[in-house]
């Protein structure tokens, strides 16, 4: 494991924190037998620890009991989607609180559920996940977890039935509500666009206003609308449509649309190619005009990457051949990885903001991509398992490792990853990686709080063996927060 960059020395830990930590671990160690730092840990002085903190971790709890309430009134909060519903805690790991008992059916990524500039969370549940009956949109507010609004997404005559034929409109409309981003908050957090089947047998776009709680229908296509994305500028929504979502071999695609909610106007941007099994939204472009990147799924993971300008409806090709993965970076940067399975010239392709290829790195065995603040990370199928390589876009140093993609703390001087069935921590001036868990960690989430004057403090949250843990700088000793709590997606830090 190697990553070269500079590290900033920070104050040593206080005696008070050591005594409190020792007292805590005398009672907690017996509860955690699978999480132990190993003898590979570097001494604390060599790790150049962050400033000492005295977190107030929640007591070890079991989810069968009632968790303690007491979330901060101003935030930020860490929001968790679990098999037992939505949970939240303060950023220091204290006051873990169950907000709902319902499992989130959609959206798949918790980030899409959270409004900007306020603390509302929107999510979709179902009475029957198998038949897609009883789909309901709910909006709660933080930190109380108060239910603000409930919107049934189908009406009785449009409810899908357990016995249905292929491409039955009622069932396809219900499926559309669960595919991709079926909700999208406006950039100012005052309006929520969502997909529902409230009028007719098709899934359409509706708009909910927080100010007056009104609901307005915005689209009226006869096909099924799915996958909403609200442009950063706030003027446009884009979405896709299909006549049927099939049984796994691809969608019967129709078109891609742009909608202006304030004007209630809809524009067809382009008809999809007959070869398209699905259109995949990649991300928003960079610049004054509102544009987005999209790729086609057809016979390979992706192909025909292009940029679509909403105003002019012009489509600019970027990478036409098949490729394995794509990710976006700052100022409209794009990275594409393609293997020898799909290309005669496999490797990492990097396109700048003007869509010209800025860099090509040959690599026959590239598989997937992930963007970090200073790295375009790409996985390579090695002889002894996955390897992670990087292309540096700033001055944070190179990265090379094995196993899963790493998760970096702010500043890039510490990172964690899974390798060989264990969960590891490393960083600048750490002689040997520290094993935080002897079992894999799921959805590790690193946050850095503080300021330049008082110092910055790292906290790491992760799930292992369906238990939730927190590790705090400088020693990163895992602290058990709650047992029997399985995460369904990465946690999200919510700001008021």
User: Each residue of 386-433: pLDDT tens digit?
Assistant: 999 999 888 667 899 999 999 999 878 899 999 999 999 999 888 899
pLDDT at position 234 is 92
d(CA 138, CA 106): 11
Instruction: Please list, in sequence order, all residues whose beta carbon lies within 8 angstroms of the beta carbon of residue 183, skipping any fewer than 6 positions away.
Output: 106, 107, 112, 113, 122, 123, 124, 137, 192, 193, 194, 195, 228
3-state SS class at 68: coil
Four-point Cα dihedral 155, 142, 283, 82, nearest 10? -80
Which residue ranges make up each domain of the chain? 65-416+440-457
HEC profile of 217-248: ECCCCCCEEEEEEECCCCCCEEEEEEEECCCC
Q: Within 13 Å, how many C-alpha atoms sit on residue 271's CB side?
A: 3
pLDDT at position 429 is 81
Of 177, 176, 118, 128, nearest in space to 148 by CA: 118
d(CA 482, CA 171): 39
Q: Look up the CATH superfamily of 65-416+440-457.
A: Prolyl oligopeptidase, N-terminal domain (2.130.10.120)
pLDDT at position 411 is 79
pLDDT at position 286 is 82
* This prediction's pTM: 0.83
pLDDT at position 495 is 85
pLDDT at position 69 is 57
d(CA 141, CA 189): 12
CA angle 116, 118, 120 (to 5 degrees): 90
User: Each residue of 211-226: pLDDT tens digit?
Assistant: 999 999 999 989 999 9
- Residue 463 has φ and ψ, to the nearest 5°, of -110, 135
Segments in the chain below pLDDT 70: 1-69, 395-396
pLDDT at position 395 is 67
- Residue 274 has φ and ψ, to the nearest 5°, of -65, -20
Q: What is the DSSP string of 424-466?
A: EEEETT-SS-EEEESS--EEEEEEEEEETTTEEEEEEEEEETT
């Amino acid at each position: 494991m190697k990553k070269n960059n500079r590290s900033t020395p920070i104050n040593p830990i206080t005696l008070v924190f050591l005594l409190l930590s020792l007292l805590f671990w005398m009672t907690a160690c017996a509860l955690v037998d699978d999480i132990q730092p190993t003898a590979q840990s570097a001494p604390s002085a060599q790790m150049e620890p962050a400033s000492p903190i005295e977190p107030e971790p929640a007591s070890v709890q079991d989810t069968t009991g009632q968790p303690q309430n007491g979330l901060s009134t101003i935030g930020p909060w860490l929001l968790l989607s679990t098999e037992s519903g939505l949970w939240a805690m303060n950023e220091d790991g204290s006051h873990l609180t169950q907000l709902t008992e319902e499992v989130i059916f959609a959206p798949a990524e918790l980030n899409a559920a959270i409004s900007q500039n306020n603390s509302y969370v929107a999510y979709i549940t179902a009475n029957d996940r198998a038949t897609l009956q009883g789909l309901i949109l709910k909006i709660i507010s933080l930190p109380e977890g108060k239910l603000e609004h409930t919107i049934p997404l189908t009406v009785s005559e449009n409810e899908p039935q357990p016995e249905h034929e292929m491409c039955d409109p009622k069932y396809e409309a219900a499926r559309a509500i669960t595919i991709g981003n079926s909700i999208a908050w406006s950039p100012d957090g005052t309006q929520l666009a969502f997909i529902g089947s409230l009028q007719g047998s098709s899934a359409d776009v509706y708009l909910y206003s927080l100010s007056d709680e009104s609901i307005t229908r915005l689209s009226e296509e006869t096909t099924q609308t799915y996958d909403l994305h609200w442009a950063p500028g706030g003027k446009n929504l884009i979405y896709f449509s299909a006549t049927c979502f099939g049984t796994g071999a691809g969608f019967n695609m129709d078109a891609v649309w742009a909608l202006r909610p304030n004007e209630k106007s809809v524009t067809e941007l382009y008809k999809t190619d007959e070869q398209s099994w699905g259109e995949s939204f990649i991300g928003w472009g960079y610049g004054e005009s509102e544009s987005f990147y999209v790729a086609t799924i057809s016979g390979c993971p992706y192909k025909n990457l292009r940029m679509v300008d909403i105003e002019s409806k012009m489509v600019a090709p970027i990478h036409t051949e098949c490729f394995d993965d794509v990710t976006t970076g700052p100022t409209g940067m794009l990275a594409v990885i393609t293997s020898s399975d799909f290309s005669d010239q496999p490797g990492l392709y990097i396109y700048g903001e003007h869509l010209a290829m800025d860099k090509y790195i040959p690599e026959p065995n590239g598989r997937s991509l992930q963007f970090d603040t200073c790295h375009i990370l790409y996985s390579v199928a090695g002889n002894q398992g996955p390897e992670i390589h990087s292309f540096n876009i700033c001055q944070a140093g190179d990265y090379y490792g094995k196993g899963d993609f790493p998760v970096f703390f702010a500043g890039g001087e510490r990172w964690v990853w899974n390798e060989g069935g264990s969960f590891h921590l490393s960083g600048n001036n750490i002689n040997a990686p520290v094993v935080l868990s002897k079992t894999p960690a799921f959805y590790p989430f690193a946050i850095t709080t503080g300021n330049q004057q008082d110092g910055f403090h790292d906290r790491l949250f992760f799930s292992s063996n369906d238990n939730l843990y927190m590790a705090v700088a400088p020693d990163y000793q895992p602290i058990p927060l709650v047992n029997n709590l399985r995460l369904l997606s990465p946690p999200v830090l919510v700001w008021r």
